[in-house]
Amino acid sequence: MKRYIHILLVLSMLMFSACSNNRNSPQDESAPVSTDTTAMPPADSAAEDTSSAEETKSVAEKLLEGMTLEEKIGQLFIIRPDALQINLTPEQINDSIKYGVTEFDEKMQKTLKEYPIGGVALFGKNISTPAQLTSFINAMQKQSSIPLFIGIDEEGGSVARIARSQNFDVTKFESMQKIGETGDPANAQKVGSVIGLYLSQYGFNLNFAPVADTNTNPENIVIGNRSFGSDPDLVAKMVSAVISGLHESGIMSCIKHFPGHGDTKGDTHTGYVSIDKTWDELKKCELIPFVNSFSTTDMVMISHITAPNITDDKLPASLSAEMIEGKLRKELGYNGVVITDSMEMGAIIKEYSSSESAVTAILAGVDIILMPNDFVDAYNGVYTAVKNGVISEARINESILRILKLKDQYNLLY
């Protein structure tokens, strides 16, 4: 796979070089040069047109124009807050229990200034009490030049960082499978609104939920009762209702794990996982909840599962241009923000360095890299790729504009 990435990067550089030569080629001397000025608008008219065009630009577009390359690349990353403590090793940062950062200090402030990230994802080890959590989030937001995505996995049920903490008195839900068994989307909407309300109170603005996977494999060890059920139409209704509830509380949604993790046996947290289904088979089942929510969800999370009967590149979906640009964007028509699943997972780090996976994901069409195993390596990898022409700045700008427009939609750009 690494050989494939090397070939991909080389081809990208050659294409970039060819395009650059075409753009810089001198004008054909044999071409006639027009001297007719009758069609040219008066100077004051041209100025008015420019002023009018400037006024019609969105807040996101204006902000993008003034950003440095370093700031742009930073927006491509949502990381653990622990990664701002650069004295910690990747193993310590990604430890699920130990080495949790719960206060924002001067070292983290310095790192945030050097690497102006797009957001943070908090876990149980970063959370102790309501007062601590609120203070921690407020401190990070205050020191960020562009307001941050503050995300969390608060699905309800087994995956709920806050609800499963004994120091928080919030409503708890047994599982999304139980919600699905009621058959009533109103119950799912309540899940979204209840969770969204307490998340917003603590300072969160993004929930990595709901799970849009249809649990079609009884041997699935990853999704299970996190899914609303095995009926894709029911799952679609429930997912849509949760999104509505989150939005009522001002919280962004992120449906996961595209193109569907429901018919798998393995766990991408530990290593390679594949699905045997064809694209037509997925469209008849697993893709239904995703497609149904494309117009309402704020993000789509790409899984690391490999689909050998769908993509020729044999790459994890999170690194596959065939899956992201070809299937998700062009065929299915999704134009919103695309985020990877955590890049610290075994399916990625056992095969790729943090810089390799980040560059490949951006080239494949991803907008946000979630929690790379080594954030600094990933950041520097993308920066070098842009400087060397492997990734065009125009490609980076596409993602940044999507990200900034989403932040503006939720009144984060002030």
Residue 20 has pLDDT above 70, yes or no: no
Residue 22 has pLDDT above 90, yes or no: no
* Of the candidate ranges 8-17, 280-289, 369-378, the one whose mean pLDDT is the lowest: 8-17
Q: pLDDT band at 414, cuts 50/70/90?
A: confident
The H or E element that residue 401 is part of is helix 393-409
Contacts of residue 177, Cβ cutoff 8 Å, sequence gap at least 6: 157, 215, 224, 225, 226, 227, 228, 229
Whole-angstrom distance, CA of residue 411 vs CA of residue 405: 10
The tokens describing 320, both together, are 């596959």
* Of the candidate ranges 158-172, 271-285, 361-375, the one whose mean pLDDT is the lowest: 271-285
Average pLDDT over residues 17-37: 39
Nearest CA-CA partner of 256 in 297, 207, 298, 300: 300
**Structural domains in the chain?**
83-409 (3.20.20.300)
Ordered alpha helix ranges (H), 249-294: 279-283, 288-293
Q: pLDDT band at 51, cuts 50/70/90?
A: low
The tokens describing 234, both together, are 């029911």
The predicted pLDDT at position 11 comes to 40
The predicted pLDDT at position 284 comes to 96
Task: Write the pLDDT tens digit of every residue in 381-391.
Answer: 999 999 999 99
Q: pLDDT band at 36, cuts 50/70/90?
A: very low
Which residue type sits at 260?
G
Residue 181: φ, ψ to 5°: -65, -20
Kindly list the distances between the CA atom of residue 263 and the CA atoms of 46, 214, 234, 312, 412, in Å, as whole numbers in the listed order.
59, 8, 17, 20, 37
Look up tokens 């139409």; give the residue.
233
In the chain, what is the straight-line distance between the N-terminal and C-terminal CA atoms, in Å? 43
Residue 34 has pLDDT above 60, yes or no: no
Where does 198-321 show beta strands of DSSP type E?
A: 206-207, 254-258, 299-302
* Of the candidate ranges 49-53, 140-144, 300-304, the one whose mean pLDDT is the lowest: 49-53
Q: How many Cβ atoms sit within 10 Å of the Cβ of residue 132?
A: 15
**Considering the chain, what is the average pLDDT of its residues?**
88
Whether the Cβ atoms of residue 4 and residue 10 lie closer than 8 Å to each other: no
* Of the candidate ranges 29-33, 178-182, 274-278, 300-304, the one whose mean pLDDT is the lowest: 29-33
Q: How far is CA 153 from the centre of its chain?
A: 13
Q: Is 10 exposed, middle or buried (0-12, 13-18, 19+ CB in 10 A)?
A: exposed
| Between 272 and 379, residue with greater pLDDT | 379
Which residue type sits at 138?
N
The H or E element that residue 340 is part of is strand 337-340
Q: How many Cβ atoms sit within 10 Å of the Cβ of residue 392?
A: 17
Q: How far is CA 397 from the centre of its chain?
A: 15
Whole-angstrom distance, CA of residue 3 vs CA of residue 98: 36
Q: How far is CA 396 from the centre of its chain?
A: 14
The predicted pLDDT at position 217 comes to 79
Q: pLDDT band at 7, cuts 50/70/90?
A: very low
Whole-angstrom distance, CA of residue 191 vs CA of residue 155: 9
The model carries a pTM of: 0.86
Average pLDDT over residues 138-155: 98
Q: Are strands 159-160 and 154-156 parallel, antiparallel or unpaired?
A: antiparallel
Whole-angstrom distance, CA of residue 376 vs CA of residue 334: 30
Buried b (16+ CB within 10 A) or exposed e, 262-291: bbbebebeeeebbbebebeebbebbbbbbb
Average pLDDT over residues 141-158: 97
| Between 380 and 38, residue with greater pLDDT | 380
Task: Write the pLDDT tens digit of every residue in 151-197.
Answer: 999 999 999 999 999 999 999 999 999 999 999 999 999 999 999 99
Whole-angstrom distance, CA of residue 134 vs CA of residue 243: 24
Average pLDDT over residues 125-131: 97
Q: Residue 218: beta bridge partners?
A: none
The predicted pLDDT at position 46 comes to 52
Q: pLDDT band at 24, cuts 50/70/90?
A: very low
Collapse the DSSP code of 363 into the 3-class scheme (helix H, G, I; strand E, B; otherwise coil) and give the result. helix
Task: Write the pLDDT tens digit of every residue in 280-329.
Answer: 999 999 999 999 999 999 999 999 999 999 999 999 999 999 999 999 99
Residue 265 has pLDDT above 70, yes or no: no
Q: How many Cβ atoms sit within 10 Å of the Cβ of residue 142?
A: 10
Whole-angstrom distance, CA of residue 102 vs CA of residue 99: 9
Catalytic residue list: 269, 341
Whether the Cβ atoms of residue 150 and residue 108 lie closer than 8 Å to each other: no
Q: pLDDT band at 331, cuts 50/70/90?
A: very high
The predicted pLDDT at position 266 comes to 53
The predicted pLDDT at position 16 comes to 40
